[in-house]
Structure formats: C-alpha cells, structure tokens
Amino acid sequence: MRSSLFWDFLLLSFVKERKKHIGVIFISVVILFLLDSTLFVSSSIKHSLLGALKAQPDFIVQRVHAGERIDMPLEWADKIMDIHGVSSITPRVYGRYFFEPKHAPVLIMGVDFLDEQSHRALAKLISKTDLKSFLSSDQMIVGDGVMQYLKSHFYSDAYNFLTPKGKFKKVKIAEVLPQSSSLLSNTMIIMPIDLAREVLGMDEETVSDIALNVPNDDEWENISDKISALYYDLRIVSKEEVQKGYENLYNYKGGYFLILFLITLATFALILYQRYSTLYSAERRHIGLLRAMGWKISDLLKFKLYETLIVIIIAFVLAFVLSYGFVFGLGAPLIRQIFLGGGEIVNAAPLVPVVDGSVLSTLFLLYAVPFVAAVLIPVWRISVTDPKEAML
Amino acid sequence: MNRGFYLSLMVLIVSVVSVLVYGYRYDSRQIDDSLATVATMVHGVVPALEVAYIEPDAMELFGSSVRANPIYPEMPQINRMGFVYAK
C-alpha cells in the first residue's frame, strides 16, 4: 500500500472515530495528569533541596541517649577540633517551639553571628536592616510562613516566647526571610545563639550538636572513626547520609504514587483489553472487510499501532502540558500540601520548573506498552481469523 | 476533515514549545541563592516540611478551615508551664 494513501486513510479513520478516541484520551489525560503533577512537585523540591545541600557541613556530630538526640557539652567541640584534618567547627543550637500545644511547630535556630560565614550570609539576606541594632537587642528573623502565622495572631512586631523557665521573653521581629527561601525557612526563626539558648532553656555551656567540615574527602572515613572513638554516645551524620535521606523521602513519596499509578494503569489496561477483546461487531466487520480487500495482517497491525500511538502521544503530551502549567504556573494547589504540609503554617515556597527526563520516559513506557498490547493483541486475534468469520 | 486534526496538532506543538521556552528561560538563581544563603547561615539544610512533624489538620483543602480568629486574637496557650502563668 502506498504510504500517502495509508496515512490519508489512517487520519480519515482517526477523525471519523474521534468520539471513541476522545474518551480514551480523556481517561488517559486524567491519570497521567495526576501522576505528572506529583512527579513534578517531588522532583522540583528534590532539586532545590539537593542544590542547597552543597552548603551542608560534611559532618554533624550528635550526642544520643536512648536513640534520641540530646544536648551536648560545648567543650566537646574543642576535643573534636584537636583532630588533625578537621576544619570550621560550628556548635549549633536549635530546637522546636510550639506556638500552641502540639500545634504550629517552628524551628528556632541559634546562629553565632560572630562566625564570618554566618555574618556574611546574614548581611546578604537582610541588606536593608541595620545589623548593629539587630545584634545589640533581642531580635529575630522569621520565615515567611511564621510571619503569616504571627500576623494572623496579631503579633506583627514582636512575640512573647514562653521559656522553659517559666518566663516570657519578648523578641522583636527584625526581618522576614524571602519567600524564595521558604522551602527551608518557612517555619524557621533565626536568632542570635545566646537568645536561642534562653528561649529553648539551654545553658551557656551546652549545644544541640556540632557541625564540622573535613576538606579532604579521602579523610572522611578516618575522621569519622576518630570522632566516634572520642565518646561512646556519639552519632555522626555525614552529608551523604542527609542527601540519601532526602532522596529517599521523595522517592518514597514518588514511589507511593507510582504504585497507585500502576494499579490505575493496570485497571485502565484491563478496561481497554476488555473493550478490544470483545470488539464491536462493526469493528470486527471493519477488520474483516480490510482483510477481504487484501490488507495483510502486518498492514492491519501497523494501522492499529499508528492509530494507538497517535492517541498515546496526544494524551501524554496534553497531560504533560496541563500538569506543567498546573504545577509551575499555578503552584500545584492541593498537591503541594501533600509534600509541604501547610495545615497550620502555610508554605508558599516557589517550585522551580524541573523535568526529570528519565522519570518521564519511564512513565511513557509504563503507559504506552500496556496500552499498545491491550489494543494490538485483540486486533491480531481477529485479523488472523478468516475474513468471512470476522464479518459475521 | 483532516484540518481539525492538524489544527489540534499545531496547538499541541505550540503548547509544548511554550513549556520548553518557559522552562529554559526560567531564572532559578534567586531561589537557589536564597536557599544556599539560609543553609550557610544556619549550617545545615532542614526542610520546612510540616508533614514531617505533627500536623493534625493536614489536608485542609482550599484553606477551608482557618484557625486564626480574626475578631479576637488567640493567645498562645500554655501547656505544661500553665502553673507559672497561674501564679
């Protein structure tokens, strides 16, 4: 058969049976749209987090009791500093504070602004604010979500923290962190380290954990062993472990939706198979007629294959475009809450457009292969029968 | 009859091209920079994922249940330190 005639016939047949195809495309678009949107959100968050991980210290040393992190003496930092190969040790002070019992948790981070790195970062973030006045009085920098929450509770200038010692500590709001950093800072309150200690009820000689860098990658394992040998109750978390943790978090979520998708896809394939295995008599007659006119089985299969591929490509591309617009244009309402939360402190972190090609191609294969099989197998079964029987 | 098909195809191609152009021209440097700055300042990457902590009112769709009282502000409740406040 001449190629142009084949294509003309294919398009005519496709347009003629458009109602049938539109139905299939619609179901496919709904399924793919949901999955694409979920994958876009997860890959965007993963991309941003992994990018920010470059600033993560190489190791975090924590003291553990009964499997839980507990505060550790500040002097341990000096002992770790004595290990050859360790550089830039930073004791960290942080803790969770609940604005209401069991509700609205925020992360209080105490930062030593005398540390050059932190000071420079602060100056970069809040260039308009007077750093001197910020450091001289009790002030804090809050994340965008925290600010919205405080404003909604009429604390637009300052907040009275209730310390574990039973005293109220009034802390002024100096600045709000930009919304572009909300993925990290939405529920974060940054304050000078001594103020954080006071709010969290820690004494001056105690820190939450110790962050450190080891410039020589080859020394990582060795240094990790040396630090472990210092005290029996230490837990050392490497940068790689944090990275794997974040990857697993979203793989789990992505995988969770992938399982749902597979179930939906299997159902979809079964519906299609059922639909094509009990082909309408008109369609059976159509196949029989084409066979009687001299169409080979391979021509028929080619015809149906191309027809199915057109449906698949249209549905896939349409779902891709719609979900892209939904996630990166509209900010993925509803779906973002699954990943970011936002029941109490709303997270309006912007989603960076990231499309993972490998995920998309896997998705295409997972969708296209069962679809093609569900269409071609019944068509092949009919086309191998005698045309007279098929037309009955 | 095929004109409709080709027209739909063109619309699809144009939308794909616009998605690609949008993705290519999107400047994510500001977001990356501010994330890196926060991470540098606090010496760590702690994602603000409320889902990882207690969230009894998760999945409030369309922001239907706003907990803040716009008429009378809700003061922060006092939990185990209530006795101090009572004094």
Say if CB A227 and CB A59 are below 8 A apart: yes
Which residues in chain A are contacts of B68 at CB distance < 8 A? 149, 152-153
Q: Which residues pair with A206 in a beta bridge?
A: A73
Task: Answer whether residue B72 shows pLDDT above 60.
Answer: no
Q: Do B40 and A324 touch (CB under 8 A)?
A: no
Domain count within chain B: 1
Distance CA A356, CA A42 (A): 10
Of A247, A241, A207, A245, nearest to A221 by C-alpha is A241
pLDDT for the residue numbered A254: 61
Q: Which of B2, B26, B42 best probes binding to A when mutated, by most A CB atoms within 10 angstroms?
A: B42
The residue written with tokens 């972190």 in the block is A349
Residue type, A52: A
Distance CA A286, CA A9 (A): 13
End-to-end CA separation in angstroms for chain B: 84
pLDDT for the residue numbered A35: 84
pLDDT for the residue numbered B61: 42
Of A344, A55, A10, nearest to A1 by C-alpha is A10
Q: Do B63 and A346 touch (CB under 8 A)?
A: yes
Distance CA A7, CA A162 (A): 75
Distance CA A69, CA B28 (A): 35
Q: Which of B11, B38, B55, B64 best probes binding to A when mutated, by most A CB atoms within 10 angstroms?
A: B38
Provide the 8-state DSSP code for B53. Answer: S
**How many contacts (CB atoms, under 8 Å) link A and B?**
207
Q: Which of A92, A148, A180, A351 best probes binding to B when mutated, by most B CB atoms within 10 angstroms?
A: A180
End-to-end CA separation in angstroms for chain A: 26
Q: Do A183 and B35 touch (CB under 8 A)?
A: yes
Distance CA A168, CA A164 (A): 9
pLDDT in tens, chain A (392 residues): 567 788 888 888 888 888 888 888 888 898 889 888 888 888 888 888 888 888 888 888 988 888 888 889 989 988 888 888 888 888 889 888 888 766 778 889 888 887 777 878 777 776 666 677 777 788 899 988 899 988 888 888 899 988 888 888 899 998 888 888 888 888 899 998 889 999 998 888 899 989 998 988 888 888 888 888 888 888 888 888 888 877 776 666 666 666 776 787 777 777 777 766 665 667 778 888 888 888 888 888 998 899 889 999 999 999 999 999 999 999 888 888 777 776 677 888 889 998 888 878 888 888 888 888 888 888 888 888 877 776 66
Structural element, H or E, at residue B57: none
Q: Do A56 and B39 touch (CB under 8 A)?
A: yes
Which residues in chain A are contacts of B47 at CB distance < 8 A? 45, 49, 183-184, 246
Distance CA A215, CA A304 (A): 61
Q: Which domain holds residue B64?
A: 2-86
Of B34, B68, B44, B80, nearest to A109 by C-alpha is B44
Q: What is the pTM of this model?
A: 0.80
Which residues in chain A are contacts of B63 at CB distance < 8 A? 346
Q: Do A111 and B84 touch (CB under 8 A)?
A: no
At residue B65 the predicted structure's pLDDT band, cuts being 50, 70 and 90, is very low
Task: Answer whether residue B66 shows pLDDT above 60.
Answer: no
Distance CA B6, CA B54 (A): 52
Task: Answer whether residue B27 shows pLDDT above 50.
Answer: yes
pLDDT for the residue numbered A189: 92
Q: Which of B2, B31, B77 sits opposite A180 (nearest CB)?
A: B31
pLDDT for the residue numbered A373: 85
Å between B71 CA and nearest CA of chain A = 10
Q: Do B45 and A124 touch (CB under 8 A)?
A: no
Distance CA A41, CA A328 (A): 9
- Complex-level ipTM: 0.79
B86 touches chain A (CB under 8 A): no
- Hey, how many other C-beta atoms are within 10 angstroms of the C-beta on A302? 15
What string of H, E and C letters represents the secondary structure of chain A? Answer: CCHHHHHHHHHHHHHHCHHHHHHHHHHHHHHHHHHHHHHHHHHHHHHHHHHHHHHCCCEEEEEEECCEEECEECHHHHHHHCCCCCEEEEEEEEEEEEEECCEEEEEEEEECCCCHHHHHHHHHHCCCCCHHHHHHCCEEEECHHHHHHHHHCCCCCEEEEECCCCCEEEEEEEEECCHHHHHHHCCEEEEEHHHHHHHHCCCCCEECEEEEECCCHHHHHHHHHHHHHHCCCEEEEEHHHHHHHHHHHHHHHHHHHHHHHHHHHHHHHHHHHHHHHCCCHHHHHHHHHHHHCCCCHHHHHHHHHHHHHHHHHHHHHHHHHHHHHHHHHCCCCCHHHHHHCCCCCCCCCCCCCCCCHHHHHHHHHHHHHHHHHHHHHHHHHHHCCCHHHHHC
Residue type, A382: I
Q: Which residues contact A222 (CB under 8 A, 6 or more apart)?
A: A85
- Interfacial B residues in 34-53 facing A (CB < 8 Å): 34-53
Q: Do B49 and A211 touch (CB under 8 A)?
A: no
Task: Answer whether residue B14 shows pLDDT above 90.
Answer: yes
Q: Do A11 and B48 touch (CB under 8 A)?
A: no
The rounded radius of gyration (Å) of the Cα atoms in chain A is: 30
Q: Which residues contact A323 (CB under 8 A, 6 or more apart)?
A: A32, A33, A34, A36, A37, A40
Distance CA A170, CA A167 (A): 10
Q: Which of B31, B52, B57 sits opposite A48 (nearest CB)?
A: B31
Say if CB A173 and CB A156 are below 8 A apart: yes
